[in-house]
Structure 1
Amino acid sequence: MAEPIGLASGVLALATFAFQCSISLYETVDGFRSHPKSVRDLLAELEALSTVLAPLVDLVKSNSSVDLSCLELPPLRCGNVCQEFQQEVLKCASQSNSSGTSFRDWARLRYIGNNIDDFRDLLGGYKATVNIASTDANL
């Protein structure tokens, strides 16, 4: 079994990574002037995700004895998908002829073969997993 302090520092690094990636993706998407409903919904989901990840980072920083072994993988995957989606957004924007990303650009944006709404649902799953595990650790 892993040492609690080593496990906590690993979870802290992963939670911090996921938090920073979600904030970075939020800032990237929010920086475009054109926001169809699906993009506004994605921004809301990213904001909600960061409100779940920030307390997790604080929990791990303040209490290294909490067993958060179940939270090693979700923050890693969450951070990775946020980074990858941000790269797709930037790639899509760089191919645009106009000064900003148009509705058509947002509509054709795909990640792992799915659209923005499917990506938002994926983030919602990570948010729920982290929230449940954090709540359990606090109890």
Structure 2
Amino acid sequence: MADPLSVTSGLIAIVTATLQSSKILYETIQSFRNHQTAVSDLIRELKSLESVLQPLLDHVRTDERTFLPLKFPLIQCRQACTDFQALVEQNSKRSRDQARTSFRDWAKLMYMNGDIVSFKELLAGYKATITIALADANLSVARPYRGLL
């Protein structure tokens, strides 16, 4: 049987890494914010994901075992953010360190529109999963006090 401390401390690292990868992706995507509604929607979704991951990190630091079922979805979310980050960087090589996006990079991003929308929906799914787990944990904490009300 695995050491419970190492399993739970591993979850803290996963939540932290997922939060960090979503922040890095947010910053990358934000540089293209003036191009299309899909990109703006993705930026909002990434900010929203961050607003769910931060409280999760706080909860995991105090009660890691409750959130162990989220380990796999968090790993998938982190990997999706990392992969999409690489895709965006690959399709925006000419625009890095410039005030404006090059037309070629802009055209590539326009072509990626379907990928952006699909990725936004994927993030929404991860966010919903995490939100449900947080709500369940909050209800579990509140149950012992139900009789006092």
Shift of 1:128: 0.5
Shift of 1:13: 1.1
Q: Residues of 1 paired with 2:2 and 2:44: CA distance? A: 36
- Tell which has more relative contact order, 1 or 2 (C-alpha 8 A, sep 6+): 1
Larger radius of gyration: 2
Q: Residues of 2 paired with 1:35 and 1:73: CA distance? A: 33
Q: Deviations over 1:88-107 (max 9, x none)?
A: 001100156x9515542221
**Which residue does the alignment assign to 1:34?**
34
Q: Residues of 2 paired with 1:137 and 1:60: CA distance? A: 10
After TM superposition, the structure 1 = structure 2 runs for residues 53-92 of structure 1, keeping only pairs within 5 Å, are: 53-64=53-64, 66-92=65-91
Provide the identity percentage: 38
2:92 partner SS:
helix
Paired amino acid for 1:46: L
Paired amino acid for 2:43: L
**Which residue does the alignment assign to 2:142?**
none
Paired amino acid for 1:108: Y
Q: Residues of 2 paired with 1:116 and 1:133: CA distance? A: 26
What is the root-mean-square deviation in Å for CA atoms of aligned residues? 2.1
The size of the alignment, in residue pairs, is: 134
Q: Deviations over 1:31-87 (max 9, x none)?
A: 2363300000000000000000011111111234x4222111011110111011011
Instruction: Say if 1:71 and 1:2 are closer, same or farther in 2 by CA, change over 3 A.
Output: farther
**Which residue does the alignment assign to 2:127?**
127
Higher helix share: 2
Structure 1 unaligned blocks of 5 or more: none
Asked if structure 2 preserves the Cα contact closer than 8 Å seen for 1:15 and 1:53, the reply is yes
